Structure 1
Amino acid sequence: MLKQIIGVVLAMVLGAGGAWFVAGLFSPNESVNEATLPLPQGGDFTLQGVNGAVSLSEFRGKIVVLYFGYAACPDICPTSMATLKAALGQLNATELPQVQGLFVSVDPERDTLEYIQRYVGYFHPSLIGVSGEQTQLQEITRRYNAFYRKVDVPGSAMAYTIDHSAMLYVIDKQGQVREQVQHAVPPAELVAAIRRWL
């Protein structure tokens, strides 16, 4: 009963996207089974990258691994990007050009486009970082069942942090979300998910 109450309260705070995420946090095995989560609507979007507008539809014909995060994230985002880096490193020379990693910053107040691209470039040279206005980001994250919220941290040098979901979305060559992979899985699991749709 307590778990249900906590889940309802957090779902009200975080929105629908947080509901399924929170449910996983309180499950008996303390993990989210991404295979049982409903796939999000997803869909095309256009945000800004360091070299101009970037649309998801530009990558038709490739598998896209999409992630929502922010460059100042202390732990979850670096772990997610390290997983993606390792997965890309396990792809062969034929597979790698067919895969595009896309990092969407949900912290446009702090993450400049140049900084986002430097951040993702640290993990892999092929990764692209983008962001946009808050209204755009909110609409896109809703379609992907993702969530984020700004949390003030008084007295901290960072001033605020951002709570956010942590899924890697595997999008097929036609632009449809096919799988949701947890951020901290062994890279081989992400590789397998990518290869299922190549």
Structure 2
Amino acid sequence: MSANVQHTTAQKRGIYLSIAVMVLFMIAVLAGFLHKMGQPRVITDAELQLNGAIKLERPRILDEFELLADTGEVFKTSALEGRWTLVFFGFTHCPDVCPTTLATLNNFYQTLDEATRKDTDILLVSVDPQRDQPQQLHDYVRYFNPEFHGVTGEFLSLKRFANQLNVPFNKVPLEDGNYTVDHGSQVVLINPRGHYHGFFKAPLDPAKMKLTYRSMRTTYNG
């Protein structure tokens, strides 16, 4: 092989190598950018509030309680440990706020990535134990999403639990002899230690909930 041919071959190899290095570098930069884009955005407490979420300065430890799960099993304080739980107080005869909230929570839940959904529970606490038996509650919440759960219990137990989470509710008689239940519309966030971590204010917005929820998860110390 002549010297010119060898020189030309070496030049081509150098060019190919340079192109390969540049392509790999661009791929690495793009992969890093996409990875960063997929990471939760951490926002300040002020930004959380602007987006409808309040994080407690110090998560609140809950007193022991005992309720009734929609499966008929006992639901204790320890059942909230190990996962993130979004808690909403309502009842199956609720004409508007409850179905709207559960539909919104389903929309929010569907926007989460699979890994986040796996350790996120949505829990409806029925404040109408007189009418909401476990099976009825079970069917109601799973109509909105088969992964959602419900609990109820004795009125005083429900009241004590709600008071710990700053959620008011009261039974209101109607003129026809029936009754309804007025209740707070916020969605409470329980962290994996089973502590009251914060809440989302109504009206709920799935996109804002996703932003604030992912940020609070990221900044959680455990």
Extract unaligned runs of 5+ from structure 2.
Answer: 1-51
Q: 1:39/1:185 Cα in 2 relative to 1: closer, same or farther (>3 Å)?
A: farther
From 119, 141, 148, the equivalent of 1:98 is: 119
Q: Which among 191, 197, 210 is matched to residue 178 of structure 1?
A: 197
Larger radius of gyration: 2
TM-superposition CA deviations, 1:102-154 (whole Å, max 9, x none) = 11100001111111111100111111111000110111111111111111112
User: Does the 8 Å CA contact 1:42/1:143 hold for their aligned counterparts?
Assistant: no
Note closer, same or farther for the CA distance 1:109–1:101 as it changes in structure 2 (3 Å cut): same
Question: Taking structure 1 as the reference length, what is the TM-score of the superposition?
Answer: 0.75
Task: Structure 1: state its 5+ residue gaps.
Answer: 1-32
Mapped to 1, the partners of 2:77 and 2:113 lie a distance apart of 24
* CA distance, structure 2, for counterparts of residue 56 and residue 83 of structure 1: 26
TM superposition score normalised by structure 2: 0.67
User: SS of the counterpart of 2:114?
Assistant: coil
Residue in structure 2 matched with residue 169 of structure 1 by the alignment:
188
Instruction: Give the one of 95, 98, 104 matched to 1:77.
Output: 98
Cα 1:114–1:182 shift into 2, 3 Å: same
What is the distance in 2 between the residues matched to 1:194 and 1:125? 21
Q: Which whole-Å CA distance do the structure 2 matches of 1:39 and 1:167 have between them?
A: 19
The percent of aligned pairs where both chains have the same amino acid is 29
- Residue 49 of structure 1 corresponds to 69
Matched, 1:117 2:138: yes
Name 2:17's counterpart in structure 1. none
Distance 1:77 1:40, change over 3 A: farther
* Count of residue pairs brought into register by the alignment: 166
Residue pair 1:42, 1:144 contacting (<8 A) in 2 also: no
Distance in structure 1 (CA, Å) of the matches to 2:80 and 2:193: 9
Alpha carbons 2:86, 2:189 under 8 Å: kept = yes
Structure with more of its chain in helix, by fraction: 2
